[in-house]
Amino acid sequence: MPTADMRSGSRSKHDVGTMKFTCTKCGWELFAEEPMRCPRCKDTGSWDYEKPRWVKTLERMRGPTDRGVGDTAQRLAARFGGERVKAFAERIGIPCGCADRQDAWNSLWPY
């Protein structure tokens, strides 16, 4: 559940950000960092969610060998260098371009 320390400005820079989840069974809407048990119908794992805008941007730059969004971010970082990617990441709103997010992002947004 969201907590008080998630206010903008005090969040960890590693956070992917809060996403809007909608229960596919009952339509319950939830803002969270990851899905949980639906508080209304008690279903789990049946959430639709809106991907953050930067995820959609990265998906459009997907390469043939990328397994997920994390690979795309990592590939761009390798090609252009960390500093340029960092600036780019800030421009399109990526919370953090750190390499240790690669696997996490791949599992969150696989191709």
Residues that bind Zn ion (CB under 5 A): 23, 25-26, 28, 38, 40-41
Tokens coding 108: 């969150």
Cβ distance to Zn ion smaller for residue 39 or 93: 39
Specify the residue, 21 or 54, whose C-beta has the smaller distance to Zn ion.
Answer: 21
In the structure encoding, which two tokens stand for residue 58, read together? 């990265």
- Least distance CB 104 / Zn ion (angstroms): 26
Q: Judged by CB, which is closer to Zn ion: 15, or 29?
A: 29
DSSP SS3 for 85 = helix
Classify the C-alpha dihedral 60-72-91-104 as positive or negative: positive
- What's the closest the beta carbon of residue 36 comes to Zn ion, in angstroms? 11
Alpha helices in 11-81 (DSSP H): 53-60, 69-80
Residue 31 beta carbon to Zn ion: minimum distance, rounded to whole angstroms: 15
